[in-house]
Amino acid sequence: MTVYNIALIGFGGVNRALAELIASKNPLWERDLGFRLNIVAVSDLYLGSVISPNGLDATTLVESKFAKGGFSQLSGGSAEANNEVVIKNAPADIIVEATFTNPKDGEPAVSHCRWALEGGKHVVTTNKGPVAIAAQELKALAKKNGVRFEYEGSVMSGTPVIRMVDKTLAGAELNGFEGILNGTSNFVLGRMETGMDFSAAVKEAQELGYAEADPTADVEGFDVRLKVVILANELLGANLTPDDVARKGISGLTAADIDTAKKAGSRWKLIGSAIRNADGSVTGSVEPKCLPLEHPLAAVSGATNAVSLNTELLGSVTVTGPGAGRIETAYALLSDIVAIHNLAGANLKKEAA
């Protein structure tokens, strides 16, 4: 039986959900996936950090009501979030990076990833920052150190997109994509279709926990722009930065715009897209588009996300699924670990030959 020792960097919703899954699913994963996960370290800005070479009990970790700095109560614990020490010194095979997204320079998550990869540790992350800002550098660093940098959850939570294209659409000749990549703005547009104005719809999204106190990143397309950069660079071999992608959000849409579209048998959606141009360059954009109801993305409602992949040999293939959610995003981390495990399996077989 393979056991992967993992260190959780950040202990917010996503990594907490992963710990919950570990608490209940390890026997199932042993049977179906061929491995179990053992948490050997956790670091969190609020709770502090802890290294436990034999492993922390996932149930205890999830159920304890720690106060600020509370990890100091644990054996091997500290009230400080010693991320660098944890990443460099914890006996982890895999570093699970789930700190906050910094859309400017990706820090401190980029450094977290660098430390891990330089130390020969795999990295799995749901953090858009390091992927949008530094994917090329981090992938090269992973390769150099014989480990993997995996980030399925940086776009559309656990709904497969990056790995789907890589593993199931090779040779289909992807020319571009368009997607609904932000559940909050899609929810707001849906509410506006019922006659609500923009501000009231945002307020409702905030009350339901879909939108943050400052909804700018979601409704003005900044979040989608990071995802367009990630997908364009990953799927179309582009080398875009966020500033390369034109961006327009949905705050300028009025109730009248929505109504006019409705009467014309169409519907506004915030679309993130990229296309490969004739000269090989790639253009990304984020803007509200008025889609006819027959369009494969027109029916994607509420907080659901979807991406249509436009290919030469298959035409359009669309994948639709959750775009957020604690467990759904934690699943993305699991799917990254499964991919590492399967690759390690091939390597182990190689070594045994």
For its own copies, give the closer residue by CB, 29 or 151: 29
Q: Which residues, 102 to 161, sit near its own copies by CB under 8 A?
A: 152, 157-160
How far apart are alpha carbons 337 and 133 in whole angstroms?
A: 22
- How many Cβ atoms from other residues are within 10 Å of residue 80's Cβ? 14
- Tracing tokens 């990630």 back to the chain, one arrives at 230
- Rg of the Cα trace of the chain? 21
For its own copies, give the closer residue by CB, 8 or 51: 8
Residue 185 CA, chain-centre distance (Å), reads 17
Query: Rounded to the nearest 5°, which phi and psi values hold at 236?
Result: -115, 10
Q: Say if CB 163 and CB 334 are below 8 A apart.
A: no
DSSP lists the bridge partners of residue 6 as 39, 94
> 144 an active-site residue?
no
How far apart are alpha carbons 72 and 84 in whole angstroms?
A: 17
Return the SS3 of 281: coil
DSSP lists the bridge partners of residue 304 as 322
Q: Say if CB 295 and CB 265 are below 8 A apart.
A: no
For residue 304, give the nearest of 294, 296, 293 by alpha carbon: 296
143 is in an annotated binding site: no
Give the pair of three-digit tokens for residue 20.
Answer: 């919950």
- Span of 70-78, 244-252, 274-282, 307-315 interacting with its own copies by CB under 8 A: 307-315
Q: Which of 14, 42, 238, 338 binds its own copies (CB under 8 A)?
A: 338
Catalytic one of 139, 144, 227, 350: 227
For its own copies, give the closer residue by CB, 164 or 196: 164
Give the pair of three-digit tokens for residue 326.
Answer: 């604690």
Q: Which residues, 243 to 302, sit near its own copies by CB under 8 A?
A: 293-294, 296, 298-299, 301
x/- mask, its own copies, residues 72-111, rule CB under 8 A, reads ----------------------------------------
x/- mask, its own copies, residues 178-197, rule CB under 8 A, reads --------------------
Q: Which of 64, 199, 216, 316 binds its own copies (CB under 8 A)?
A: 316
Q: Which of 36, 88, 114, 163 binds its own copies (CB under 8 A)?
A: 163
CB of 183 to its own copies, least distance (A): 13
CB of 93 to its own copies, least distance (A): 17
128 is in an annotated binding site: yes
Q: Say if CB 1 and CB 30 are below 8 A apart.
A: yes
Active-site positions?
A: 227
Interface residues toward its own copies, by CB under 8 A:
21, 28-29, 32-33, 152, 157-160, 163-164, 167-173, 293-294, 296, 298-299, 301, 304, 313-322, 327-328, 330-331, 334-335, 338, 346, 349-351, 353
